[in-house]
Amino acid sequence: QVQLVESGGGLVQAGGSLRLSCAASGSTFSRYAMGWFRQAPGKEREFVAAIRRSSGITYYANSVKGRFTISRDNAKNTVYLQMNNLKPEDTAVYSCAAGEVAGDPSSFRSWGQGTQVTVSS
């Protein structure tokens, strides 16, 4: 079982940037597709981005495409989410997840505790 710990959330003004990190332990990191999801108050959790195990192929929700970039460093057991040009509607708790298939959000089964991102207008 993989354990995931996110960091890097905070308060930022609209148009600003943040970089989230997710450190993995307890299992072989490179075995997993990795993803980021978010949940805003009163809303369902939604897929944000995912990256394959080793090829670097990435997937994005339409709402973040062109603004967010997911990357991973298998040597450091870490996945990142660079968020640029943030908007108030990006405000949510962001969680990283480990899964089987990067292109299938339903395959993500291991979750971190989440980190709050708040974007002020």
List, for residues 63-74, the tens digit of each pLDDT value.
Answer: 999 999 999 999
The secondary structure of the chain in percent helix, strand, coil, rounded to multiples of 5, reads 5, 50, 40
| Eight-class DSSP state of 21 | E
Q: Mean pLDDT score of the chain, rounded to an integer?
A: 96
pLDDT higher than threshold 90 for residue 117: yes
Model confidence over 2-28: pLDDT tens digits? 999 999 999 999 999 999 999 999 889
d(CA 56, CA 71): 7
Cα–Cα nearest to 90, from 55, 59, 117: 117
Average pLDDT over residues 88-103: 96
d(CA 30, CA 78): 10
Residue 104: what pLDDT? 94
Cα–Cα nearest to 58, from 74, 45, 69: 69
d(CA 51, CA 35): 6
Residue 27: what pLDDT? 82
